[in-house]
Amino acid sequence: METRVYLGVDVGSVSTKLVAIDSMGRVLGDCYLQTQGQPIRAIQKGLDEVRRVLPQNATVAGVATTGSGRVIAAALLGADIVKNEITAHATATLRVLPAARTIIEIGGQDSKLILLNHGVVTDFAMNTVCAAGTGSFLDRQAHRLGLPVEDLGELALQAKKPTRIAGRCAVFAESDMIHKQQSGHSLPDIVAGLCEALVRNYMNNVGKGKTVKGPVSFQGGVAANTGIRKAFEVALETPVVVPEHYRVMGALGAAYLAAETVGKSVFRGFGVVEANCHAISEPCLSCGNSCEVVRFVMEGRVLAHWGDRCGKYSNKQLSSAGS
């Protein structure tokens, strides 16, 4: 008897996540890897990793993609559903924490705040401009301190009195941190201050004007940092829950959405792991928009277009999965 499997793929600027679930919604396998500016290669590598842990009788019955690279992921894999990150994260959170009212998601380069009411997204905000409210802020300061970023959380919990670090800008934060070091503040107090600065920046930007209510779900790679979690609990005056699959919640939500597909999947098959794929962009001079049109090519065949405003290319019915 075959095992029906549903794949969720979340491609971001920093990381690429894949999750495979069965028809009961149980996670069969997942992976989290760095995109490194090569989303096609990252997706292929992640798909290969997930394939290795699936049962031999597995049949992919649905695929959904999300994240900033969701379009290229859909073209490569042959996705049945393409959804934005807000929908994907909300879908996963409501499955694992049905009573959730707020989702805090912080990744390497961006962050999100999603407000829920009775299982419906009522508001959201995103920060894709300032690094001071994202994981890259912590990465940079950890490097400056000569510490592995994964050690920051436990170190922050050792603080006696967190020092206040200017968190409005990553550059100012680094300058202020150096000043606090020279003033004799302990390393745990400085690290705890960095965690509080990130939370303060997040609330003053992404959370500005928003009413945060519990239960709160904290997800994304930064959720591994216990110091940040504690800083959020202090700032919000409410417990913060970190789900089991916090690093891959976007992909997990996409997998749940894929499980809702009806009919035969257009998944191209695991053969795409070895396929020769690339994207080519060129300006379209048909009108004054001068759109940058991207062509996705697999084994010499153009499978998809995107980037044109008028739909001249992207609306074409090109090669479908499995043809």
Q: What is the pLDDT of residue 282?
A: 86
Written as tens digits, the pLDDT of the chain (323 aa) is 788 999 999 998 889 999 999 999 999 999 999 988 899 999 999 999 999 999 989 999 999 999 989 999 999 999 999 999 999 999 999 999 999 999 999 887 788 999 999 999 999 998 755 555 677 777 777 887 787 877 888 888 888 888 888 766 666 777 777 788 778 888 889 889 888 888 888 888 888 889 999 999 999 988 989 999 999 999 999 999 999 999 999 999 999 999 998 789 999 999 999 999 888 888 888 888 888 888 888 888 888 888 888 888 877 644 333 33
- On whether the 98-242 domain is CATH 3.40.50.300, my answer is no
What gap in Å lies between CA 51 and CA 29, rounded to an integer?
8
Fold adopted by 3-88+251-274: Nucleotidyltransferase; domain 5 (3.30.420)
Q: What is the pLDDT of residue 276?
A: 92
- pTM here is 0.87
What gap in Å lies between CA 60 and CA 83, rounded to an integer?
19
Q: Is 170 within 8 Å of 140 (Cβ atoms)?
A: yes
Q: What is the pLDDT of residue 316?
A: 64
Residues of the chain with CATH 3.30.420.40: 3-88+251-274, 98-242
Q: What is the pLDDT of residue 321?
A: 38
Q: What is the pLDDT of residue 319?
A: 39
Contacts of 118 (CB under 8 A, 6+ apart): none
Q: What is the pLDDT of residue 169?
A: 63
